[in-house]
């Protein structure tokens, strides 16, 4: 497993429940945005050669790259973006999907997760579409019909 993938804290050390709990501590969305941006800084950088079309997620306002490995039936992701807020959003998504089996990924109710975070109504429509494009890419890698 690559060093970037094995050092990803989201989904292993930081779970989706942790994200919900932490974001609920903040009183306003300005503070939440700052926290989300800080989360993005915890993502290990993706290798430069993976910042290529093969890994690019279509439908995102910013550039987003996703790669993955499967080890012992679990999916481990390497992700990156050229936008700080999107890197944080990737961290949120990784908290739900990284280190999980395909069945876990496909069964996870991402819409309920976003609802619990009150996330989509605080993103621009283009960011929301990009968030869904990232989720669709991950679910596709796990075998969901596209």
Annotation says 128 is catalytic: no
Residue 33: per-residue pLDDT: 93
Q: What does the pLDDT average to over 46-59?
A: 92
Domains in the chain, CATH or no CATH each: 3-141 (3.90.1010.10)
Q: What is the pLDDT of residues 10-28, one digit of tens each?
A: 998 999 999 999 999 998 9
Whole-model pTM: value is 0.92
List 4, 19, 43, 60, catalytic entry: 60
User: In the predicted model, what is the mean pLDDT of the chain?
Assistant: 91
Helix boundaries (H) for 67-118: 84-97, 102-107, 110-117
More confident residue, 2 or 20: 20
Q: What is the pLDDT of residue 27?
A: 86
CB 76 within 8 A of CB 68: yes
């Amino acid at each position: 497993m690559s060093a970037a993938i094995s050092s990803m804290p989201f989904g292993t050390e930081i779970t989706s429940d942790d994200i919900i709990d932490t974001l609920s501590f903040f009183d306003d969305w300005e503070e939440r945005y700052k926290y989300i941006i800080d989360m993005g800084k915890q993502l290990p950088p993706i290798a430069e050669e993976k910042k290529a079309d093969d890994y690019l997620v279509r439908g995102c306002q910013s550039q987003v790259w996703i790669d993955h490995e499967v080890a012992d039936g679990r999916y481990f992701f390497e992700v990156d973006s050229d936008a700080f807020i999107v890197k944080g959003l990737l961290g949120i998504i990784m908290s739900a999907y990284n280190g999980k089996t395909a069945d876990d990924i496909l069964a996870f109710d991402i819409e309920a997760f976003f609802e619990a975070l009150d996330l989509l109504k605080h993103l621009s429509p283009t960011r929301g579409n990009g968030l869904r494009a990232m989720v669709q890419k991950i679910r596709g890698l796990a075998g969901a019909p596209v």
